[in-house]
């Protein structure tokens, strides 16, 4: 694997090209100044929309402004992520984020105004100005929120309180990213050194059990020490969610969170109940893991240890891209042709360099093209990350190609489907083409662990969130002891009796950033089972599923998420997709457990 010390060393075809957004900084500044001016124009519509022409004027100018603002934001974000150490990029991103707050404030009057407007008046406006048909579906959708939007004055107050209401999340972010100091671990030279997050992930995959235990204890040490402070931030976040739900007339915080996607509570409850009814294969996997590791007691620090040793994982980026293309052939020639074209088109930022944002992501930009960030490391994980992010990339591409701007962005509820379909097709391709028994075991183990992390763990988190919010809604208090008790009980239920508990396990709740974004994690699980369902039918050569799936990728947010998935044959109102995924998991565990 080549190590780069600077972006200048990387060939151009392995870097994204931001000149596709703005040819130079002066063009960015020009658009920035235009948005500043347009904010004033939008604000002047407050109390001044009295007819169809003015109504259309506000909506069309708002959309033009948001298209321009999105370009500004994406450019600033991508440039900052190239090298997060650059103060000039940080300044650019900060400026555009402040601009976003001003836009929100200037337009906060519109929703209360719209919902005071009689539906008959709105329909008359649309007849008078036919161009309003472009906005019609979204406008009528807004009436669903009628009982949940407050008066103009109250909405303005809530808009101004945004930073204060977000403070528990901000505070936890500062604790978790800036202030946490982990304990010490022993390095290769026998010296004690401070543990870092990057080191922790690597050590937990080490074959040395003593090192894993030492790192596990060191990692949890500050969370245990700060349990009361973190419990306070999480408790405040939950209380804020419950209070806002009450203020906006929702029956519960959960129903508020599900309302935007028009998802009934039964989908959330069905996910948890069906998973727990079919949990036995996960318990069986814990038994298999214990046997494969040859330990008397399976501990929490054994859950990421390698079960198959000495497997070749040297996969160059070129080889990874070619393997991905081969694996995705069930998606058809057009899909593969577009994927090939993206490789050298300034879309993907491939290599890891000092200061570059870690991890990987895709972001769609309407009117330009998607952008994908990678930190490719020439191994199996990087191959899967590539397939995952290019799934998102193709979803963004197709949605932008086939939808108008207003419906081109897809909901987070369906966001993980395209990425996971790609990963499932890839794992099946690798399993079908490898002749090495050891590699096959390694791939099976990779699939099982991915399934565990993306599905079972997220369902457990979803149940934890539901329980803690219900406690506050029932007038009960939350503190570290309450969180510990709930988390430990759930961890035991999901992971079974073969796992011997460390004292630290019960503090797992204290390190999860997603708990500050209410009822979000369940979407990983529903997306995962949906993808398994679709991919397994694609692998059977089902032409109807292929056509339906490509239509799904082209649909953006033109329909509610459940309806989009139902058109592909996935009905999340029923237990069937979850049960089907559980059967797949059971088969994987059975094969992996064979000698």
Give domain limits for the chain: 7-167, 317-441+521-564+578-593
Mean pLDDT of 306-328: 91
Give yes or no for residue 310 having a pLDDT over 90. no
Give yes or no for residue 403 having a pLDDT over 70. yes
Burial code of 88-109, b = ≥16 C-beta within 10 A, e = fewer? ebeebbeebeebeeebeebbbb
Mean pLDDT of 328-338: 97
Rounded-to-5 percentages of helix, strand, coil across the chain: 70, 5, 25
Helices and strands per DSSP (H, E), number in the chain: 26, 5
Is 389 among the residues known to form the active site?
A: yes
Give yes or no for residue 149 having a pLDDT over 90. no
Q: pLDDT tens for residues 73-119?
A: 999 999 999 988 888 888 898 899 899 989 998 998 998 899 889 98
The structure tokens 């900060």 sit at: 94
Return the pLDDT at 1.
Answer: 58
Return the pLDDT at 314.
Answer: 86
315 to 198, 318, 459: CA distances (angstroms):
21, 8, 33
Q: Which fold has domain 317-441+521-564+578-593?
A: 1.10.1370
**pLDDT classification of 355: cutoffs 50, 70, 90:** confident
Return the pLDDT at 2.
Answer: 65
C-alpha dihedral over 383, 384, 387, 392, to 10 degrees? -140
Return the pLDDT at 530.
Answer: 96
H helix or E strand, kind and range, residue 320: helix 317-327
Give yes or no for residue 199 having a pLDDT over 70. yes
Q: For 7-167, CATH number?
A: 1.20.140.70
Return the pLDDT at 101.
Answer: 86
The structure tokens 């009361």 sit at: 228
Share of the chain above pLDDT 70, in %: 99
Mean pLDDT of 200-213: 91
**Mean pLDDT of all residues in the chain?**
93
**List of residues 6+ apart from 23 with CB closer than 8 A:** none
Check residues 296 and 190 and name the one with the higher pLDDT: 296
Residues in the chain, overall count: 595
Strand partners, 194: 184
Mean pLDDT of 196-221: 91
Return the pLDDT at 572.
Answer: 96
Give the 3-state DSSP-derived string for 70-99, with helices as H, strands as E and coil as C. Answer: HHHHHHHHHHHHHCCCCHHHHHHHHHHHHH
Give yes or no for residue 123 having a pLDDT over 70. yes
DSSP conformation class of 358: P
- From the candidates 82, 389, 463, 465, which is the catalytic residue? 389
Cα–Cα dist 61/58, whole Å: 5
Distance of CA 217 to the CA centre of its chain: 28
Return the pLDDT at 95.
Answer: 93
Task: Read off φ and ψ for residue 337, nearest 5 degrees.
Answer: -60, -45
Burial of 542 (0-12, 13-18, 19+ CB in 10 A): middle
pTM above 0.75, yes or no: yes
Note every long-range contact of 157-163, with CB atoms under 8 Å and residues 24 or more positions apart, other chains counting: 158/247, 159/104, 159/105, 159/108, 160/105, 162/101, 162/104
435 to 180, 186, 430, 439, 441: CA distances (angstroms):
46, 39, 10, 8, 11
**377-381, 510-514, 573-577: range with lowest mean pLDDT:** 377-381
Give the 3-state DSSP-derived string for 110-169, with helices as H, strands as E and coil as C. Answer: HHHHHHHCCHHHHHHHHHHCHHHHHHHHHHHHHHHHHHHCCCHHHHHHHHHCHHHHCHHH
**pLDDT classification of 533: cutoffs 50, 70, 90:** very high
The structure tokens 């939008």 sit at: 42
Cα–Cα dist 62/405, whole Å: 13
């Amino acid at each position: 694997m080549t190590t780069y010390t600077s972006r200048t060393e990387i060939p151009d075809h392995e870097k994204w090209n931001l000149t596709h957004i703005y040819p130079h900084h002066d063009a960015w500044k020009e658009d920035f100044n235009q948005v500043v001016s347009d904010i004033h124009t939008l604000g002047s519509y407050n109390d001044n929309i009295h007819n169809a022409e003015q109504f259309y004027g506000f909506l069309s100018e708002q959309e033009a402004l948001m298209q321009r603002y999105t370009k500004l934001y994406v450019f600033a974000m991508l440039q900052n992520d190239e090298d997060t150490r650059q103060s000039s990029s940080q300044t650019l991103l900060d400026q555009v984020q402040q601009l976003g707050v001003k836009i929100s404030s200037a337009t906060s009057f519109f929703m209360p105004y719209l919902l005071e407007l009689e539906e008959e008046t709105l329909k008359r406006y649309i007849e008078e100005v036919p161009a309003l048909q472009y906005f019609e579906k979204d406008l009528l959708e807004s009436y669903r929120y009628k009982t949940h939007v407050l008066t103009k004055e109250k909405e303005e107050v809530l808009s101004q309180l945004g930073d204060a209401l977000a403070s528990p999340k901000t505070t936890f972010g500062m604790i978790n990213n800036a202030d946490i100091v982990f304990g010490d671990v022993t390095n290769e030279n026998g010296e004690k050194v401070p543990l870092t997050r990057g080191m922790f992930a690597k050590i937990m995959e080490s074959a040395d059990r003593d090192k894993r235990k030492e790192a596990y204890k060191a990692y949890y040490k500050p969370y245990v020490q700060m349990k009361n402070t973190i419990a306070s931030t999480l408790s405040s976040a939950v209380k804020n969610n419950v209070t806002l739900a009450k203020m906006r007339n929702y029956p519960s915080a959960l129903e508020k969170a599900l309302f935007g996607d028009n998802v009934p509570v039964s989908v959330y409850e069905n996910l948890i109940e069906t998973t727990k009814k079919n949990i036995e294969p996960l318990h069986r996997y814990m038994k298999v893991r214990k046997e494969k590791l040859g330990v008397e007691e399976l501990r929490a620090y054994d859950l990421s240890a390698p079960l198959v040793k000495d497997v070749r994982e040297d996969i160059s980026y070129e080889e990874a891209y070619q393997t991905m293309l081969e694996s995705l052939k069930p998606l058809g020639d057009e899909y593969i042709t577009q994927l090939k074209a993206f490789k050298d088109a300034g879309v993907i930022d491939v290599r890891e360099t000092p200061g570059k944002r870690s991890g990987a992501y895709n972001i769609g930009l309407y009117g330009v093209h998607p952008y994908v960030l990678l930190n490719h490391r020439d191994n199996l994980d990087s191959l899967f990350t590539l397939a995952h992010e290019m799934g998102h990339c193709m979803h963004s591409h197709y949605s932008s190609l086939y939808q108008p701007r207003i419906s081109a962005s897809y909901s987070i509820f369906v966001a993980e489907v395209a990425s996971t379909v790609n990963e499932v097709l890839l794992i099946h391709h690798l399993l079908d083409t490898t002749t090495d028994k050891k590699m096959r075991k390694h791939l099976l183990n990779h699939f099982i662990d991915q399934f565990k992390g993306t599905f079972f763990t997220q369902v457990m988190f979803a149940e934890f969130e539901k329980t803690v919010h219900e406690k506050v809604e029932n007038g009960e208090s939350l503190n570290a002891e309450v969180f510990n008790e709930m988390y430990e009980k759930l961890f035991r239920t999901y992971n079974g009796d073969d796992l011997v508990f460390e004292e630290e396990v019960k503090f797992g709740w204290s390190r999860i950033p997603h708990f500050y974004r209410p009822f979000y994690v369940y979407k990983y699980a529903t997306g995962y089972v949906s993808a398994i369902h679709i991919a397994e039918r694609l692998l059977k050569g089902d032409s109807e599923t292929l056509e339906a799936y490509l239509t799904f990728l082209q649909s953006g947010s033109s329909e509610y998420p459940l309806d989009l998935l139902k058109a592909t044959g996935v009905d999340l109102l029923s237990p069937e997709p979850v049960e089907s995924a559980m059967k797949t998991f059971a088969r994987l565990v059975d094969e992996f457990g064979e000698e």
